[in-house]
Amino acid sequence: MPRKMISLVIVAIATASCLALVGLGESGAPPAAADEVTLPPPVTSGGMSLAEAIGKRRSVRRFAPTPLTQVEVSQLCWAAQGITEPDQGLRASPSAMATYPVDVFMIDATGLYQYDPGKHALRRLAEGDMLARLRSAVGQAPVRSAPACMLLALDYERSRGRCGDRAERYGLLEAGHIAQNVLLAATAMGLAGCPVGGMDEHNCIKVLGLPEKLVAAYLLPIGHPEKGQ
Ligand SMILES: Cc1cc2nc3c(=O)[nH]c(=O)nc-3n(C[C@H](O)[C@H](O)[C@H](O)COP(=O)(O)O)c2cc1C
């Protein structure tokens, strides 16, 4: 095979593998930039009723290895922090004084991605098996089993100015709102998750190579429940 063609094949394989989290190649549009994938629009009506999702939600700790699709990732990110009122940029989860100190990250065997609510896009921050790295810092069963994990991380610099001494309490409350939205959205799609708070909130950030000012509030391992769960 000519050298030029070999390098094209290598680039194609690399691109396909690092975008596997968001299912690009199955149904998606091309990425807006090399390291950014615009997610499909979220589904904002129909589906399982809220009452049914509340009734069905359960913390699940054993998952099938099936990766999440682009559509599923889109819906989970939107439920977490999607823009629901574009004029003022208000989001799916409430935030004290609309300071939005929680950043949303997705981690899987292909990389680490940050959700950009304004663009409804995922920006790739790191390639490779970042889930394995996370698992080295968090030995919890659901994190070991799930094919993907959402991280909710607090940046208190964003909220301290307006929220003062209440920034930490407000931030954790806000992470709780977001987590519940995500868990209910997962349930409504036939997925499941488990809210994990039992981890070292600084070490998680460190192993993922994220800025040290961030504090991990919650991990939300998510996937298809293993049969029989
Ligand atoms: C703040 C918080 C922290 C939690 N941390 C963990 C955890 O570290 N590991 C885990 O397996 N489950 C964790 N859970 C899940 C609880 O164990 C679970 O919600 C509880 O057993 C009730 O079950 P249910 O969620 O299915 O209703 C946590 C839940 C909350 C609300």
Give the closest residue (by CA) to ligand 1 atom 9: 196
Q: Which of 63, 134, 194 to mutate to test the pocket of ligand 1 (most atoms within 8 A of CB)?
A: 194
Q: Encode pLDDT of 6-46 as tens digits.
A: 443 433 333 333 345 544 333 334 445 679 999 999 999 99
- The number of angstroms, rounded, from the C-alpha of 164 to the middle of its chain's C-alpha atoms is 28
Q: 196 in ligand 1 pocket by Cβ < 6 Å?
A: yes
Q: How remote is the CA of residue 61 from the centroid of ligand 1, in Å?
A: 10
Q: How remote is the CA of residue 26 from the centroid of ligand 1, in Å?
A: 33
Q: Encode pLDDT of 108-164 as tens digits.
A: 999 999 999 999 999 999 999 999 999 999 999 999 999 999 999 999 999 999 999
- Name the CATH code of domain 3-223 (choices 3.30.1600.10, 3.30.1330.10, 3.40.109.10, 3.40.50.150): 3.40.109.10
For the chain, the straight-line distance linking the first and the last C-alpha, in angstroms and rounded, comes to 49
| Non-local CB neighbours of 214 within 8 Å, separated by 6+ positions | 103, 153, 154, 155, 205
Tokens 């968001």 sit at which residue?
A: 22
Q: How remote is the CA of residue 147 from the centroid of ligand 1, in Å?
A: 19
Question: pLDDT value at position 33?
Answer: 62
Which atom of ligand 1 lies closest to the CA of 141? 11
Q: Is the pTM of this model over 0.95?
A: no
Asked if residues 103 and 153 have their Cβ atoms less than 8 Å apart, the reply is yes
How many whole angstroms separate alpha carbon 108 and alpha carbon 65? Answer: 11
Asked if residues 27 and 38 have their Cβ atoms less than 8 Å apart, the reply is no
Mark out the alpha helices in the chain (DSSP H runs): 3-18, 50-56, 70-81, 130-137, 141-145, 156-163, 167-188, 203-207
